[in-house]
Amino acid sequence: MLTPNIDLNGKTILVTGAAGFIGAELVRVLLSTLDGATIVGLDNVNPYYDVAIKEYRLEKLQTLARERVGCQWHFHRGNIADKALVEELFTKYGFDVVVNLAAQAGVRWSIDHPDDYIEANIIGFYNILEACRHHPVAHLVYASSSSVYGSNKKIPYSTEDKVDDPVSLYAATKKSNELMAHAYSKLYDIPSTGLRFFTVYGPAGRPDMAYFSFTNKLRRGEKIQIFNYGNCKRDFTYVDDIVEGVKRVMMNAPERQTGEDGLPVPPYRVYNIGNSAPENLLDFVDILQQELVAAGVLPESYDFEAHKELVPMQPGDVPVTYADTSRLEEDLGFRPATPLREGLRRFARWYKEFYL
């Protein structure tokens, strides 16, 4: 197991995508657990999904920051594709650790809105890399995605697998991020770690994700479409587990080394963060409906069978996601473990409090 080489206490940390699902939860954990740290958030709060949820997350963070003595929280509204803004923030704060979670998410959205992905995921990430080059950081951690595995038939997905067959532009941009980070690590000796997240869910999540959109549709009395006729499996990973993994990674930067050619060996790693227990989509829907009834989001008499529709696979989707997390376990002694029922129960209770 690796020995942590970065003490996050007292450090200045940039979290991009800080109003996003994972970003806001990471900032919450950092503010709650660190001493003497300065946390800087950057997010353009775009309307890809309900901005009210993003504002809700930010309000929670502001409240926590007022209560938390010893840590500073500074939030900036802006786009990582704005190179001048990124340069200004790096110059002003002198970041020790950067966590890039800002991205245009969503596989299906990328089919009809490619410009959004090139701007945020390619140009934006390039700006972050350039800033880390000119303002050296101890560690750059960035979000990749399980989507990079594309139509890979081998499961579980291992970070040793080839990932050169993306099935969506979103996946291609995330693979591009890994290649760009590797090049910058090699050329400029920037310690970087990419994280391939697997189907993240939980309270205050993204409304475009299945568990959230299903809940909204069921409440409106609409039918939910279950793709691939219910034969999909997803490695659902609870957001708290994702954030615990991110924090551990932040504290373990790849070591700088020199190779036999006298040039830097890229201080570069990639990890899967997933639950390593894929769930059948029909079983997932069954658990979700039970927890929605238990939380009072839906009535006990709700006719779920009348609101389910089995449909073919959608373009850009894959039938199974399944993470091999052995490298994460070996290096960091961590494996996500929140049971799906417990995670959906927490989501259902939050949904009741937020909407009803």
User: Are 196 and 271 within 8 A, CB to CB?
Assistant: yes
Structure-token pair, residue 211: 């568990």
Is the four-CA dihedral 109, 146, 55, 11 of positive or negative sign?
Answer: negative
Query: Beta strand 192-197 with 268-273: parallel, antiparallel or unpaired?
Result: parallel
Query: Beta strand 268-273 with 279-280: parallel, antiparallel or unpaired?
Result: unpaired
pLDDT in tens, 150-178: 878 888 999 999 998 898 999 999 999 99
The alpha carbon of residue 310 and the mean position of all alpha carbons in its chain are separated, in whole angstroms, by: 28
Q: What is the end-to-end Cα distance of the chain in Å, rounded? A: 46
170 vs 175: CA distance, rounded Å: 9
127 vs 284: CA distance, rounded Å: 39
Domain residue ranges of the chain, discontinuous segments joined by +: 12-200+238-276+322-337
Confidence (pLDDT) at 338: 95
Please name the residue that has the structure tokens 């509204």. Answer: 77
User: Are 9 and 43 within 8 A, CB to CB?
Assistant: no
Q: Where are the beta strands (DSSP E) in the chain?
A: 12-16, 38-43, 72-77, 97-100, 139-143, 192-197, 200-201, 224-226, 233-234, 237-238, 257-258, 264-265, 268-273, 279-280, 308-310
Residues noted as catalytic: 170
Number of H helices and E strands in the chain, helices first, is 12, 15
27 vs 135: CA distance, rounded Å: 22
Confidence (pLDDT) at 190: 96
Confidence (pLDDT) at 136: 97
Running along the chain, 356 residues long, what does each successive block of 10 average in pLDDT?
97 98 98 97 96 98 92 97 98 98 90 94 98 98 95 89 92 97 95 97 96 96 88 92 98 90 87 93 94 97 93 79 94 95 98 96
- Residue in 219, 354, 340, 222 with CA at minimum distance from that of residue 287: 340
Confidence (pLDDT) at 260: 83
- Residue in 117, 116, 99 with CA at minimum distance from that of residue 195: 99
198 vs 323: CA distance, rounded Å: 7
Confidence (pLDDT) at 145: 95
Confidence (pLDDT) at 314: 77
DSSP 154: S
Fold adopted by 12-200+238-276+322-337: Rossmann fold (3.40.50)
* DSSP-assigned states of every residue in 18-55: TTSHHHHHHHHHHHHH-SS-EEEEEE---TTS-HHHHH
Confidence (pLDDT) at 22: 98
184 vs 129: CA distance, rounded Å: 7
Amino acid at 332: L
Q: How many residues does the chain have?
A: 356
99 vs 233: CA distance, rounded Å: 29
CB within 8 Å of 43: residues ≥ 6 apart: 16, 17, 18, 19, 20, 23, 54, 75, 76, 77, 78, 102
Structure-token pair, residue 138: 């101890």
Confidence (pLDDT) at 257: 85
Question: Bridge partners of 43?
Answer: 77
Confidence (pLDDT) at 14: 98
Confidence (pLDDT) at 227: 85
